[in-house]
Structure formats: structure tokens, C-alpha cells
Amino acid sequence: MEYLGRELNRLARNGNFSFHPRCRKLDSVHIYFADDLLMCYRADIIFDRLLNGEFMKFSNASRLHANVDTSSLNVSGVATQTKAEILEELENVEGALPLDI
């Protein structure tokens, strides 16, 4: 997981990345909770593609894969069309958090 964390932080320094407005002060893209990963960033299709590429690289290197049956994508504060494009691009289902961030 340390490898993934380094790659995500490197990706955050990419010019296409924008922190979630309420997470900028943390200067972090991700938080680990046991076997869960929470990512906070401004939803953008370009960055989503870059992020997906990093996850695929991590999966190939570590042979660890996300469990698609228990994974979800929580997108808020964007236009419905943008949300639909992101969900389609990442081939993921929409979930919900018990709080609004």
C-alpha cells in the first residue's frame, strides 16, 4: 500500500489534478482505513483516467485487485452529465457516503 500511496501523491502533483476544496489543506489525496481507501479530489474525467491508470499499474505490480462487488464511487457537487461520464469511464457503481463532503 505504501507504493500506491507514493504513486497517488506523485499523481496529485500532476498539472491535471485539483484537490477537493475542503481537502486542500490536508495536502493528501487518500486516506487508508484498514482495508478501505478513501480518495478526495475534484471530480474530473482527465484525472479519473490518470487515477485509473495508477490503480491498474498498482494491481499489475502487486497482484492486488479491487473487489468490484464491494467498491463504489461517490461523486457529489458536479453536473449530472459529468457524474455519468465518470461512472461510465471507471465502470463503477455509484455509492453514497453517510455525510456530505
Q: Is residue 99 part of a domain?
A: no
67 touches 33 (CB < 8 A)? no
Residue 100 included in any domain: no
Whether residue 25 is contained in a domain is answered as yes
Q: What is the pLDDT of residue 27?
A: 66
Q: Which residues have C-beta within 8 Å of that of residue 22, sequence separation ≥ 6? A: 40, 101
Asked if residue 101 belongs to a domain, the reply is no
Whole-number pLDDT of residue 45: 81
| Number of domains comprising the chain | 1
Query: Does any domain span residue 95?
Result: no
Burial class (CB in 10 A: 0-12, 13-18, 19+), 86: buried
Q: Residue 39 corresponds to which amino acid?
A: M
Assign 9 to helix, strand or coil.
helix
Q: How confident is the chain (101 residues) per 10-residue block, as mean pLDDT?
A: 76 69 67 70 78 85 83 80 85 72 51
pTM, full prediction: 0.65
Structural domain includes residue 33: yes
Q: How many CA atoms lie within 13 A of 78 on its CB side?
A: 17
Could you tell me if residue 41 is inside a domain? yes
pLDDT reported for residue 36: 75
Domain that includes residue 8, residue range: 2-90
